[in-house]
Amino acid sequence: MPKRHKYLNYTTPWGISLSGVSRGSLSSFLIHESGFQAALDNWNHEAVDSPFWRLYHNPKPGCHLRFQGRDIPLGPERFVLIPANTIFDCCGPGLACHFWLHFTVNRLAGQVTESPVTLPMNPLLQALVSAVVETHQQAASAARDQRVHHQSAALLHAIFAEWDAPVPETMPERLLEILALIQKAPHSDLSNPFLAERSGMSVERFIRSFREHTGFTPAAYVLNTRLRLAGEALALTDKTIDQVAVQNGFPNRHYFTRMFTRQFGCGPAEFRTRQHGRRGL
C-alpha cells in the first residue's frame, strides 16, 4: 500500500496565496438569472434600476444603453458591465439579439462607481459567451441549467479578470469577520457595542477602525447592507414586504418603507412592481 502524505497547509511556498483575495475581493458571485433571446421585440425601457449587477452582450448590433445622456452601443465586439443601482435606459430600435446575466457581487468591502463599464471582446470571452449561448438553446433540463450556471460563472470571472476594478484595501481579519456577519445575518443585533465586542475592541476604537477601512460608520454600513439585501428580496422572491422588513433587521414595515424610499426613491411595493414588470433586460 503506498504511503500517504498529509498536507495540512492551505498554501505552499511556490503558489500565490488567494485566501485574502477570496474574502475581500469582487470575485464571488450569486447568479440570479442567465438569459439569451435571439429576437426580443420592443427592448425600450426607461430608467432601469436594480439592486443587482448586470452583464450585457448583444451578438448583433443595433441596440444601445443610454446613461446620463451618453449612448453606449451594444454589439458583438463588446460587453457592458452594469453595477448595482446604476440607472440607465434600454434602447432597441429593432429586434434585440440579447444575452444577459443578473447577479450579486458578494463583496465585503470597497466601493464601485454606479456607471456602466465597457469591456472589449477577446478570444477567451468570445469562447465563453458562445458556449453559454449554445447551452441556452438546448432542451430544458436540470443538467442544462447546471451547465448554464457554471458557464455563466466562468464568464463572470473572466470579465472581472479583464476589468481594471478597484482593489479593496487589505483589512484586518477581525473586521472581515464583522463584514461577513453583517452580510449573513442582517436580522441580528448589529449595534456598535455588539459588533465592537465581537471584534475584540472598545466601541470607540471599533468605530474608528471600521470607518478607516470601509469609508463608512458601522451604522451606515449596516443600514446600506440591509437595504441592499431587502431590495434583492423584493426583486427576486415573493416574500411579503413585512417579511422582507423583519428578515433584514427592520423593526417594522413603516420604518423599512421610510428608509427604503430615502435610498431608492420609491417605496418597496412600487420598487417590486417595477422590477417584476421588466423581462428580458
Is pLDDT at 127 greater than 90 in this prediction?
A: yes
- CATH H-level, domain 26-162: superfamily: Regulatory protein AraC (2.60.120.280)
Q: Give the mean pLDDT of the chain.
A: 86
pLDDT at 25: 55
pLDDT tens digits, residue range 29-81?
A: 888 889 999 998 888 989 888 788 999 999 999 999 999 999 999 999 999 99
Topology (CATH) of 173-276: Arc Repressor Mutant, subunit A (1.10.10)
Q: What is the pLDDT of residues 257-273, one digit of tens each?
A: 999 999 888 899 988 88
Mean pLDDT on 16-38: 71
Same fold, 26-162 and 173-276: no
Q: What is the pLDDT of residues 180-202, one digit of tens each?
A: 899 889 999 999 999 999 999 99
Cβ-Cβ contacts under 8 Å for 58 (sequence gap 6 or more)? 74, 75, 76, 96, 97, 98, 99
pLDDT for res 13: 60
C-alpha cell at 59: 451578438
Closest to 135 in 3D by CA, of 33, 36, 281: 36
* Cα–Cα nearest to 74, from 52, 89, 85: 89
CA angle 195/201/205 to nearest 5° reads: 100
Q: What is the number of helices (H) and of strands (E) in the chain?
A: 10, 9
DSSP state letters, 183-219 = HH-TTS---HHHHHHHHTS-HHHHHHHHHHHHSS-HH
pLDDT of amino acid 221: 93
The larger pLDDT score, comparing residue 217 to residue 173, is at: 217
Domain spans of the chain, in order of start = 26-162, 173-276
